[in-house]
Structure 1
Amino acid sequence: MSPTIELADQVFEAGPVAMTPSCVEWTFHAGEWRLRIEAHAPGVFRLRCGPLAWLEPGKPTLRAQRQADMLLARHEAVGEMECLTRETGGWRLVQGEAGLEVGGSEPGLRLFRGDECIARALLPIPSAGSGSGRWPLVWALEPDEGVYGLGESLDELDRRGARLVSDAPADRCLPLAWSPRGWGAYVNTLNRVEHDLQADGAYTVEAWGEGLDLFLFVGDPSEILNQYTALTGRAGQPNLWPMGVWLDQAPGQSAESSLQQIRSLRSQGMALDALVLAEPAILGFQADKPVFEWSGRIPDWRGFVAQAAELDIHLAGACIPGVLQGTSLFEEWADRGWLLCDAEGEPWLCPGTPASGGQPFGLLDLTHRDAARLWTERHLQAVEEGLEAPVCQAQFDLPDETEARGGETGAVLRSAYPHLARRALFDAVAGPRTPQEGVLLSRDLFPGVQRFAWQQGPAVDNDWQGYAATLRAALSVGNGGVAVQTHRLGNAGRPTGAMTPELYLRWLAMGVFSANFSFQGLPALMPDAFDADTRALVAHWLQWRYRLLPYVAGIIDDAVRTGLPVQRSMAQAYPADPDAHVWDTQYLLGPALLVAPVMQAGGVTEVYLPKGDAWWDLNTGWRYEGGTRWTVRPGLDTLPVFGREGHMLCLGPTAQHTGEINSARILEEVWMFGMPEHNPVVMRNKIRVMQMQGSSYIKGLEGLRILPSEGLEVKRRGAEVRISRAR
């Protein structure tokens, strides 16, 4: 690495050269470089450092603007701060409780929350003219301090000990890191960022680029996720049907066999809403025309769509963002410059994926407006013909020399390409509707992924370890800003011998109390593979899923406003309770429910109830104080779930699909956990809670059954309900 200098050594001796209520700027390297710090939003500082020509390039090019828009949904600073001179030297920038100190006798950056220093970091900067293009940032961590976020993890949620590279697909990396101590950091770039989280030492971030663009957050993890997703974008509210149960077609399974499985489930009282057609892609470009054709494995696509519609089943299926090698259309688009190219200017060939049936194909250059528009238009037509949710995996390990028409290469192209693919497909699914609604399925992780629903969970083994891995995967990406990640109930591509009835039901119960899950169409993983008692319990849990839909939909609607995930890790929900952080397979489902899935055979599990709240057992109605630990033995028809005191759970009717749910009467019943203090999270929320003279007055409960917890009494007054202590 080229020589570096400490930030404090050269920048702060002469003081700022520019100062406004939202921005302070210093100059160094003979005035050719700048350090600019903005109060970007309450509790958010933006630090940009580098050559003036990088910081103020003049009118941005179209390519630069498109890349900036991939990263940020809000570019302008909306906060204000004070810039104070410290007696010991240096400067302190203050906005509310959030403070950032720079310079002085102590080198580096220091983040404050009130009077408490919550983080320290060194920011060595390259010497002028070094041309290193690499920016190290070294966080000094406390010995027991956890760092969360940074993408998907199948084991530890605390990322200490991990080494991650942002543009390496296998690392499953996301850009946000945060600590329960109250700080977060995000490097705003499509270029490479390397994270080295030493298990017992510092956390080193090294960002590549001509300059450094760094966002620093101060607050609880929930506040950090709120500000991060407000800054980088959030997904919209989907329709109701994606929250119903899904079925993943097994490899090689026929369409008629899948429909028969659906009929069998329905005949046994089991609910279902969507079918994901197996790979290879269900549609693709014709060999000689830029027109989609449906796969020959479903000879009569329109007839199949009609049969699915009769069953109220919504269809999803895979696509590839490219054209098969050896076709005349491949040659035509290569000549036109619509395909990504290698170092020699020839089309770069993807060696084949499951979606392409293993056949090599050229990748559409989605930086090319015409190519991207065509791909969107063709999928819009496919949606009109019955494909309601495309499935696309577009995160490829592109060689450094692969180049797009806009000039993107290397890490930038690897980070940008899945974003461009997801954006083009979402435009097709959402169409002209306002607000835009719709889902598309993908496993891709990239900066900005949280703007798009629905994120697929990993393919794991059919054993207790695989069950734990899919849960931790959802909690870890939730820590990184992804609101919704789904689960697969098993894996059709792995041995099924370890999938016992007990494991199947425990896995199913966790999936019911999550953003969503899917059955696997492989006969050995379908409910029909098990005995009658197990099938009856499957039907029981599916009834619970559909009763929960108003609440789950409300959590997702809440995520549109707050950026908080559906499944919330203990470190994210209870940062001030370090005892809770080690319980990494229990979680909050939205704000009202604590879920502690049974994670091992035998039916005995331990539950930790976090400090700061009291908890009501949904199964027994008993109340427990927070900060306590319990051993429970739930049967296969129950799951350890606890209601958070002061909250309510609103439930809907049982149904076999969402088409049976009356949108004008989506609620049936309300469960209260202690005296209601919070408005419930529920789809199309019109329920409001007010406190007065020791009682709660609630509007919006007309016609609903109300189940108060012990010690409360309910009195109805027309459209208003009064909840008070029992005398």
Structure 2
Amino acid sequence: MPPKSDFAHVTQLNVLQFLTAKSTRADFSIEDAGMQLHIEAHAPGVYRLRCAQASVLLDEKPGARTRLHTELLLARQEAVGELAVSSIPEREQQGWRLEQGDIVLEISHSPLQFSISKGDDCLLRSDPRQALSVVQTESGEQVWRLGLDLDGDDALYGLGETAGELDRRGQRVEADHPQARALPLAWSPKGWGIYVNSLGRVEHDLDTDGSEVYSIYLHANILDIFLFVGEPAEILNQYTALTGRAGQPALWPMGVWLDQAPGQTVAATLDQVRQFRQSGLGLDAVQLADPAVYGFQADKPAFEWDAARVADPRSVLSDFQEQAVQVAAPTFPGVLADTIMFTEWEDRGWLLMNDEDGSAHVFEGCAATAGRPFALLDLTYKDVYKLWSERQRQAFDEGLGAPVCDAQYDIPDGITARGGESGAVLRTIYPMLARSALFDAVAGHKTPQEGVMVSTDLFPGVQRYAWQRGPLVENSWAGFEHSLRTALSLGASGVHVQTHLLGNSQAPVQGMTPELYIRWLAASVFSGNFSFQGLPALLPSAFDDETQALVRHWLQWRYRLVPYVLGLIEDAVRTGLPVQRSMALAFPEDPIAHAWDTQYLLGPALLVAPVLEPGQEAKVYLPAGDAWWDLNTGWRYEGGTTWTVRAGLDTLPIFGREGHMLCLGPLAQHTGEFNSARLLDEVWMFGMPEHSPVVMRNKIRVMQMQGSSYIKGLEGLRILPSEGLEVKRRGAEVRISRIR
């Protein structure tokens, strides 16, 4: 944040006057600052606050660039809520109530303050010491400052990736640089959330000084924030409905992946695929390693494959497809600096250019360019965006399964894109445009829009894309936990799926013991997805026969879980809930559960407690409010209890939530063996069914009558009831009742 010594002028927003109210919005004037404040019921339980100079807020004809920025940030722009506005005359200071049913936003002035309540409970209030102000820095930059009061026990979640505690309180997040790994949503289990809707620089001071204030600094001309009220699941629902949700991946990405090791030949990787098949190990996809395997020719604006690695692309892709394996390959949105295309496109202005002399900015080499200097395409220019997207589509027409592209570059100040973006805005918008162009190439022309674009980039709206790749970590127990925590923190930030890497080909492998390998694999099986690493020392074949047998055991589980996990992704499209859900997200009313922050819910039905240290005993906390069934023993436990369980390497502490069902698919070595007309094979019940199961593209409904559950959609499946229940089939209907 700007140091206080850099504050040339601070304008505290005080004198608030009511102007007008409509069914969805109330407008106020801030006369002492020449500004207006618009408060909108954007959706049920969602308030939007926009503050700026009146001329800016009342501009009814924004430019094309402003409209593009709005579309990149918001999937739903029109307000769909209703607002009732009334004054609060009994107050010493004038105030107003903006009501949405039992949710009330109260606002007053001198100084300008607000609070949000639900029923009789005040959930959030602005801090009277900071409230809302505009800071003018010595450099002339305008910075909005907003302070929110925190109670002593308020926890804060979201705001992007972290490998530490999921509760972000006490941290500082500066969102305009790639290394920050930041996302814009923050929420509290107390029942409120906040989203700063901006491409500009946003800084979150989450009570780093112990003053019990959450301070937000926004570097922009307009303050635009959304306030959410509800349980965390409802906050994610409203946030993703507002900012966008993922499309559906196809079936094959749900199978097991293999990442090519750096420097490995394609022929060697194909041999590894054949070894997987011969060993009876499941596999569906291969990701080729950096550098980029395909991209622009040195002298023509057409794509070509790296002939040194892939001499005949169609033949190579066909060889993998004969093994029922799809290929994902790295690419990047730029050209090498020592090529004819660099010179030609620099003259055209198609590359990101330096302000000082108008030359194309040359970036230092990266993994995608094998260390060679390069320039980035100016994707803010529609002709360049279209060209890159169309060339990408040609690669898929040749048989490529998915692109791999990290485009979150640390673009320095002093570069202005053709669209006028620079600084933090350009750093934020560039990976957004790159992923959007790839989506247009891979999935945009399909019905339904199925496809994945593999990337680690984080930016506002990243949850619109179905596949987020996990971080590179150490080959150690700490690395295993690091990968798990990043997945849970991203899920709490609105990202539906983070995949895991089973080890790291670029790190020392001595720490990867057979025990760690199996524990890591078991937890990865019960996640969105994961990938093996192609380094021979990290492949199953590097371990003893007993360990390889355990690998086969867990891969069988993975393919049986595919209908459930893909059903969770389909559910995320409707609800915004991630595949892996932290305890604070899933059980906000159980503060004890929040401390067990390496446990998680896989969807609504399964509680998973990964074993994160050597040994065969693990402690598990079963959240209050539900009973839980041990998948390994069939025993039932009451919630709100802590247990020490024994888990051999062929088991994992997993508990089914009472009232739910787990639908499993058949044994398979790849998703091509699935029968699309019969994706399910078996149903496990955890007590009397009360909830319709989450399952891919199957409509199974549970109805309850006279103490029994009646289920349609389980025809021909094997059903395993819990103890004390019996199953009776009645034509196309299954009746579950107590044993008499």
Aligned to 1:507: 520
CA distance in structure 2 between the partners assigned to 1:682 and 1:641 by the alignment: 18
Aligned to 2:340: 328
Partner SS, residue 152 of structure 2? coil
CA distance in structure 2 between the partners assigned to 1:114 and 1:368 by the alignment: 49
Asked if the contact 1:29–1:128 (Cα under 8 Å) also holds between the matched residues in 2, the reply is no
1:256-291 deviations in whole A, cap 9, x for unaligned?
Answer: 111111111111111000000011001011111001
Aligned to 2:41: 39
Aligned to 1:381: 394
Partner SS, residue 506 of structure 1? helix
Aligned to 1:392: 405
Partner SS, residue 440 of structure 2? helix
CA distance in structure 2 between the partners assigned to 1:440 and 1:112 by the alignment: 41
Q: Tell me how far 1:643 sits from its aligned partner.
A: 0.5
1:339-386 deviations in whole A, cap 9, x for unaligned?
Answer: 001122110111111011111111000001111101011110001112
Asked if the contact 1:450–1:482 (Cα under 8 Å) also holds between the matched residues in 2, the reply is yes
1:22-64 deviations in whole A, cap 9, x for unaligned?
Answer: 1111112269411110000000000001101211223111111
Aligned to 1:288: 299
CA distance in structure 2 between the partners assigned to 1:323 and 1:233 by the alignment: 31
Aligned to 1:95: 100
Aligned to 2:247: 236
Aligned to 2:126: 121
Aligned to 1:112: 117
Partner SS, residue 323 of structure 1? strand
Superposition pairs of residues 679-698 of structure 1, within 5 angstroms: 679-698=692-711
Partner SS, residue 379 of structure 1? helix
CA distance in structure 1 between the partners assigned to 2:137 and 2:320 by the alignment: 64
Asked if the contact 1:90–1:105 (Cα under 8 Å) also holds between the matched residues in 2, the reply is no
Higher mean alpha-carbon deviation, 410-419 vs 163-172, is at: 163-172
CA distance in structure 1 between the partners assigned to 2:480 and 2:677 by the alignment: 37
Q: Tell me how far 1:128 sits from its aligned partner.
A: 10
359, 362, 384: which one aligns with 1:346 = 359
314, 329, 340: which one aligns with 1:302 = 314
Partner SS, residue 187 of structure 2? strand
Aligned to 2:10: 4
Aligned to 2:323: 311
Aligned to 2:4: none
Matched, 1:219 2:230: yes
Aligned to 2:3: none
Q: Tell me how far 1:120 sits from its aligned partner.
A: 1.4
Aligned to 1:628: 641
Q: Tell me how far 1:685 sits from its aligned partner.
A: 2.4
343, 360, 370: which one aligns with 1:357 = 370
Aligned to 1:76: 78
Asked if the contact 1:133–1:211 (Cα under 8 Å) also holds between the matched residues in 2, the reply is no
Q: Tell me how far 1:421 sits from its aligned partner.
A: 0.2
Aligned to 1:608: 621
Superposition pairs of residues 144-543 of structure 1, within 5 angstroms: 144-199=153-208, 200=210, 201-296=212-307, 297-343=309-355, 344-543=357-556
* TM-score, L = length of structure 2: 0.96
Partner SS, residue 283 of structure 2? coil
CA distance in structure 2 between the partners assigned to 1:690 and 1:31 by the alignment: 59
Amino acid at match of 1:312: A
Asked if the contact 1:180–1:576 (Cα under 8 Å) also holds between the matched residues in 2, the reply is yes
CA distance in structure 2 between the partners assigned to 1:608 and 1:72 by the alignment: 38
CA distance in structure 1 between the partners assigned to 2:569 and 2:347 by the alignment: 45
Q: Cα gap change, 1:306/1:351 in structure 2, threshold over 3 Å: closer, same or farther?
A: same
- Percent identical pairs in the alignment equals 62
Aligned to 2:144: 135
CA distance in structure 2 between the partners assigned to 1:440 and 1:127 by the alignment: 40
Partner SS, residue 324 of structure 2? coil
Number of residues of Structure 1 aligned to a counterpart in Structure 2: 723
CA distance in structure 1 between the partners assigned to 2:491 and 2:153 by the alignment: 22
Aligned to 2:654: 641
Higher mean alpha-carbon deviation, 183-192 vs 685-694, is at: 685-694
Higher mean alpha-carbon deviation, 155-164 vs 212-221, is at: 155-164
Q: Tell me how far 1:85 sits from its aligned partner.
A: 2.2
Asked if the contact 1:322–1:361 (Cα under 8 Å) also holds between the matched residues in 2, the reply is yes
Partner SS, residue 174 of structure 1? strand
Amino acid at match of 2:250: N
Q: Cα gap change, 1:153/1:135 in structure 2, threshold over 3 Å: closer, same or farther?
A: same
Q: Tell me how far 1:435 sits from its aligned partner.
A: 2.3
Task: In structure 2, list runs of 5 or more residues that go unmatched.
Answer: 1-6
CA distance in structure 2 between the partners assigned to 1:389 and 1:146 by the alignment: 38
Asked if the contact 2:385–2:437 (Cα under 8 Å) also holds between the matched residues in 1, the reply is yes
CA distance in structure 1 between the partners assigned to 2:723 and 2:11 by the alignment: 65
CA distance in structure 2 between the partners assigned to 1:10 and 1:132 by the alignment: 23
CA distance in structure 2 between the partners assigned to 1:369 and 1:127 by the alignment: 35
Query: Over the residues paired in the alignment, what is the CA RMSD in angstroms?
Result: 1.4
Q: Cα gap change, 1:191/1:104 in structure 2, threshold over 3 Å: closer, same or farther?
A: closer
Partner SS, residue 710 of structure 2? strand
CA distance in structure 2 between the partners assigned to 1:639 and 1:74 by the alignment: 41
Task: In structure 1, list runs of 5 or more residues that go unmatched.
Answer: none
